[in-house]
């Protein structure tokens, strides 16, 4: 499932996040690329563990844990500490697949990358190009979201970032290990949870809502790894 998650950060939070990362030290983005990715990656990145990146990343993690749509769709077990990159002057990132396992020198944890996330920190009008293009069984999908919005997609997807020909595209990117490994099972749980919330808001039959809620939790109990 590929999902647009709006409003992860408020405008004020985006401004504070940008204040932190714009003052940070930027290096060649290939420092976190795997062997294949390094041959097609051309961007700048803040080193892992940088003080500004940690502060901005903590703000993002807190916002994610408070966002109902994100939690419902991702069912996060462990979220990799957010990283930050920038594309400008024609920089791009060619077709690649994210590494299946990520190790964080900040937390000392290893995670299985079930889902990939890009949180946009630049307004779309601030730059030309820079679309994230994710491929799935239905074709290629180009994504360019408002600042503060996030795109969530399976880490198994081939994807790339188009060249930025004007301005700069600044974003946070990270991965997560979900409590539910299988993307199809996660998608069904998300759709069921969304349906329950909608019916609850419409004050539909409570007996049916209790039955659907029980079904949701019994499926989650069957599929979740905690």
Crossing angle of helices 206-223 and 183-201, in 10° steps, is 160
pLDDT digits (tens, 9 = 90+) for 75-120: 999 999 999 999 999 999 999 999 999 999 888 999 999 999 999 9
Both 168 and 190 in a single domain?
no
**pLDDT of amino acid 33:** 65
CATH code (residue 64): 2.60.120.620
Both 137 and 60 in a single domain?
yes
Please give the Cα distance from 178 to 185 (Å, whole number).
Answer: 11
Both 193 and 95 in a single domain?
no
Both 201 and 122 in a single domain?
no
Cα separations (Å) of 193 from 4, 77, 199? Answer: 17, 18, 10
Both 121 and 37 in a single domain?
yes
Q: Structural domain tally of the chain?
A: 2
Q: What is the mean pLDDT of the chain?
A: 95
Please give the Cα distance from 196 to 218 (Å, whole number).
Answer: 14
Both 121 and 199 in a single domain?
no
Beta bridge partners of 161: 93, 132
Helix (H, G, I), strand (E, B) or coil at 216: helix
Residue 99, class by beta-carbon neighbours within 10 Å (0-12 exposed, 13-18 middle, 19+ buried)? Answer: middle
What's this model's pTM, rounded to 2 decimal places? 0.94
Structural domain boundaries enclosing 56: 3-178
The answer, yes or no, to whether residue 34 has pLDDT greater than 90, is: no
Average pLDDT over residues 178-192: 98
Both 80 and 148 in a single domain?
yes
CATH code (residue 188): 4.10.860.20
Give the confidence band of 182 by pLDDT, cuts at 50, 70, 90.
very high
Give the percent of the chain with pLDDT over 70: 98
């Amino acid at each position: 499932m590929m999902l647009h998650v709006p409003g992860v950060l408020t405008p004020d939070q985006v401004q504070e996040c940008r204040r932190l990362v714009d003052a940070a030290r930027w290096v060649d983005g290939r420092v976190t690329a795997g062997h294949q990715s390094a041959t097609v990656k051309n961007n700048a990145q803040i080193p892992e563990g940088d003080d500004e990146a940690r502060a901005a990343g903590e703000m993002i993690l807190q916002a994610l844990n408070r966002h109902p749509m994100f939690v419902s769709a991702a069912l996060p077990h462990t979220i990799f500490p957010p990283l930050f990159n920038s594309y400008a002057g024609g920089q791009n990132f060619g077709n690649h697949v994210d590494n299946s396992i990520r190790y964080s020198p900040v937390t000392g944890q290893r995670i299985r990358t079930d889902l990939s996330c890009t949180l946009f920190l630049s307004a779309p009008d601030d730059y030309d190009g820079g679309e994230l293009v994710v491929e799935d069984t239905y074709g290629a999908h180009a994504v360019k979201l408002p600042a503060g919005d996030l795109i969530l997609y399976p880490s198994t997807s081939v994807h790339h970032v188009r060249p930025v020909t004007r301005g700069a595209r600044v974003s946070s990117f990270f991965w997560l290990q979900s409590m539910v490994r299988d993307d199809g099972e996660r998608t069904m749980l998300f759709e069921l949870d969304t349906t329950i919330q909608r019916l609850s808001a419409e004050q539909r039959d409570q007996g049916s809502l209790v039955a659907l809620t029980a079904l949701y939790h019994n499926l989650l109990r069957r599929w979740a790894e905690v």
